[in-house]
Amino acid sequence: MTSAALRRYDGRTVFIAGAAHGIGRAIAHRLAAEGAALVIADMDSEGADAVVAELAGSEALAVHCDVRDRESVRAGVAAAVDRFGGFGVLVTNAYSASSVPFEDLTDEDWNRDLDPTLNGAVRTIQAAIPHLIASPYGGAVVSIGSVNGLAAFGGLAYSAAKAGLVNVTRNLAVMYGGKGVRFNVVAPGTVRTRVWTDRGPERLAFVEQAKRHYPLGRVGEPEDIAAAVAFLGSDDAAWITGVALPVDGGIMTGPLMQMFGTDPI
């Protein structure tokens, strides 16, 4: 069944934090195709407006939301509630990722990645939680993590933030399960977004070279992640909470076998 045939989000509103580009934009398009009303929240207001324009025919609202600023988050949530009366699904996708070597990391470097990636998700969930609890359909939070939060793939500050997001998710799943709110993480591997494709030939070459490490023979596309988010935020996942789901082309299971072959090590 294609996404166009699924209507799991009819009558439901979804707030997407970090929706102007890449994975967040693909999530918006997927959920719109499934009938959702959407809040396109991003610190890039022009990018958010552009996504709303792309979703012509769907009910969508662009709001400015900088997850590093608690008041900005509160204002974005308030605007969503004012327009739609509330929302039952939250997707947290805002992040920062740098490549400063560990021995050179300053407090500023560390916080530059940690604050939007982990603290920003927490701020957004805090602002959203009363509305998720109040949702007549039950609430769901799907956070975009990374395989970097599950294993050692470098990018220490970013990876630590994504690992923290998994732990926060599991704790919140226990804390709010009795109130009808589910919390899950989608953990992508390498995904073909502007982070790789718009920053010079070296990064683009890395994406091409990375294919050989993936058992499925390719890197991910934003739509791969959007499909997993659409599932976890829907009633099809009504008995799933506290999970970190790798959507990674098999990278978490494949490298050792590729290195050593099929014989036991």
Pick the catalytic residue: 9, 95, 162, 176? 162
Q: Hunting for tokens 């509330």 — which residue is that?
A: 86
Give catalytic status of residue 9 as yes or no: no
**Residue 158 catalytic?**
yes
DSSP 252: T
Q: Alpha helix locations (H) across the chain?
A: 22-33, 45-54, 70-84, 107-114, 120-134, 156-176, 194-197, 201-210, 222-232, 255-260
Q: First CA to last CA across the chain, in angstroms?
A: 41
In contact, 101 and 154? CB cutoff 8 Å: no
Catalytic residue among 158, 176, 179, 214: 158
Distance of alpha carbon 158 from alpha carbon 87, whole angstroms: 29
How far is 134 from 151, CA to CA, in rounded Å?
36
User: Exposed e or buried b for every residue in 134-157, given b needs 16+ CB within 10 A?
Assistant: ebebebbbbbbbbbbbbeebebbb
Residues classed as catalytic = 158, 162
